[in-house]
């Protein structure tokens, strides 16, 4: 899993939740199964975006992407 987030404390949380790869050779060839993009500062506009509220979790299995 690759985690991209706006805040340092969310990044620290993800580091504690998921197993890290410490071997540089494995890290260079690692292809994450999913990428999580966490943007708590972004609020959707339900009328435009088709969401039920201004917060959302979108999962695209084809692109292996999770947007929170």
DSSP string, 14-54: HHHHSPPP--HHHHHH---S-EEEE-TT----HHHH--SSS
pLDDT at 12: 93
Q: Report the chain (68 residues): mean pLDDT per 10 consecutive residues.
A: 93 90 84 92 93 94 96
- The terminus-to-terminus CA distance of the chain in angstroms comes to 14
pTM of the complete model: 0.80
pLDDT at 44: 93
pLDDT at 32: 87
pLDDT at 21: 83
64: left (phi over 0), alpha (psi -120 to 50) or beta: left
pLDDT at 62: 96
């Amino acid at each position: 899993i690759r985690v991209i987030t706006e805040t340092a404390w969310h990044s620290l949380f993800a580091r504690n939740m998921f197993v890290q790869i410490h071997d540089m050779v494995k890290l260079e060839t690692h292809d994450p199964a999913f990428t999580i993009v966490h943007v708590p500062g972004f609020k959707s506009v339900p009328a435009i975006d088709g969401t039920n509220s201004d917060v959302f979790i979108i999962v695209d299995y084809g692109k292996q992407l999770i947007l929170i």
